Amino acid sequence: MSKHILNIDAELHRVFYQGEVLAYPTEAVFGLGCDPDNEAAVFNILALKQRPVEKGVILIASHFSQLLPYINDNAIPMDRRTQIISSWPGPYTWLLPKSERAPDWITGGSPLIAVRVSAHPVVRTLCDFLDKPLVSTSANLAGQEPARTVEEVARIFAGRVHIVQGEVGQQAQPTQIRNGLTGQVVRA
């Protein structure tokens, strides 16, 4: 049986800052997340998913300012900034220049970091409550279909994650990823 968190409360705050893994609904699928500044927590997610660190993970936030410690805002070209900022909140993930603070366990060693300002109400509430962005990667084992329900998360990760209740959004596929410097679609 999986651990369940029914409310966004002090218990959620405690488990997040102790480095435990959360599963929560996003725009299209359930995501796995943790504190992006906790290396052990990120590596725990990667081990659960059987995903190599070199692939990197996404950071999701409730507003752009939560992402500023992790991106090099000054390196975003002015001609690209309007398209990026106007796409949020929404189901668009952008690869942006990383800041010096952005750890390699998030970026996979890339000079870019994948970020999104989500419109999903559960994600926004979580990020506002925790006052920071979350790691976000689909709730699945590498190469398998992502979980779309609480029951699927519980079956796949049997007791190894805390589940935040909620419904996934209306997106049919995980969010599009685009290179913020070129506009090129990396994942449709």
Number of domains in the chain: 1
CATH code of residue 55 = 3.90.870.10
- Give the domain range for residue 137: 3-187
Distance separating alpha carbons of residues 134 and 37, to the nearest angstrom:
9
What pLDDT is attached to residue 3?
A: 59
Going residue by residue through the chain, which has 188 residues, state the pLDDT in tens, using 9 for 90 and above.
445 655 678 888 999 999 999 999 999 999 999 999 999 999 999 999 999 999 999 999 999 999 999 999 999 999 999 999 999 999 999 999 999 999 999 999 999 999 999 999 999 999 999 999 999 999 999 889 999 999 999 999 988 999 998 899 988 887 889 999 998 998 86
Sheet holding 22-25, edge to edge: 3-5, 162-164, 22-25, 30-33, 134-138, 58-61, 112-117, 92-97, 176-179, 185-187
Closest CA to 136 of 96, 170, 93: 93
What pLDDT is attached to residue 58?
A: 97
**19 phi-psi bin (left φ>0, alpha ψ -120 to 50, beta other):** left
Closest CA to 7 of 120, 185, 162: 162
pTM summary value: 0.93
